[in-house]
Structure 1
Amino acid sequence: MTQIVRYTHPTQAEIDAVMAEARQMRSELVAAMMTSLRLKLRGLFAGGKATAAA
């Protein structure tokens, strides 16, 4: 029974480690999304200006 409780109830340190990893992953995801959005907008506006000037 002790092992079952040990594996089903993580320690506070384990919870903190998982939450820190989740925050890092979320931060990286948001950064990647913003980079992608910035590149798409740059292409949209730069493409629009290039075709209008041509």
Structure 2
Amino acid sequence: MLLRFLLLQSNNQQTIEHATFRYKNLNLFYLNALVVRQHLLTVKQQSTN
């Protein structure tokens, strides 16, 4: 019973870590998109000036 509980706990921990990792990746992706967008807007403004 205890062993099963421990196995469940470790599985749960891995799932949480995996979810956190994916969340961090999504955040990085989102930040990159924002930076690129800002850069493109800046380039556009410079070309019109």
Query: TM-score, structure 1 length as denominator?
Result: 0.76
Tell me the residue number matched to 1:23.
Answer: 18
Q: Which of 29, 34, 48 pairs up with 1:34?
A: 29
Distance 2:32 2:18 in 1: 21
Identity value in percent: 7
* Larger helix share, 1 or 2: 2
Q: Which segments of 5 or more consecutive residues in structure 1 lack a partner in the other structure? A: 1-5
Unaligned runs of 5+ in 2: none
Q: How many residues are paired up?
A: 46
Runs of 4+ with >3 A deviation:
none
The separation in 2 between residues aligned to 1:22 and 1:32, in whole angstroms, is: 15
Q: Structure 2-normalised TM-score? A: 0.83
- Cα distance per residue 1:19-50 (max 9 Å; x no partner): 01001101110000000000000011111111
